[in-house]
Amino acid sequence: MNDNHRAAGTVRDGLLTLHLEARLGAWHPDGDSALGADVPAFAEAGKPTEIPGPLIRVPAGTDVAVTLRNAVPNAVLTVHGLHARPLTTPAADTLQIAWA
């Protein structure tokens, strides 16, 4: 469970560096002691999955460098909204990342 009090990544010299992984994580919508299910979720690399996902807080004017790894077996991860500026085509904000 993520209480969304700690921002993910590291900010240094005006750059937020963030390493994220999509992987299966235990989701317990009715509390930790209730029956749960394994669902795709995000985590910072080397840390447990978090539901909701890691809090990404970006100070105004900060550049962002994100690394995404898909560790969900036999799945293609589709991510919307990540793109370099300037946006070259309307569909350029969608990434598809194969399982690795």
- Is residue 29 domain-resident? yes
- Is residue 1 domain-resident? no
- Is residue 64 domain-resident? yes
How does residue 11 score in pLDDT terms, banded at 50, 70 and 90?
very high
- Is residue 57 domain-resident? yes
Q: Running DSSP on this structure, what letter comes out for residue 46?
A: T
Show the domain range for 32: 10-70
How does residue 92 score in pLDDT terms, banded at 50, 70 and 90?
low
> In a 10 Å sphere around its CB, with 0-12 CB exposed, 13-18 middle and 19+ buried, how is residue 34 labelled?
exposed
Strand ranges, E, within 1-100:
10-12, 15-27, 37-44, 63-70, 76-80, 94-98
| Number of domains within the chain | 1
Residue 37 pLDDT exceeds 70: yes
User: Which residues lie across from 79 on neighbouring strands?
Assistant: 95
User: What percentage of the chain has pLDDT greater than the value 70?
Assistant: 85
Specify the pLDDT at position 3. Answer: 67
- Is residue 62 domain-resident? yes
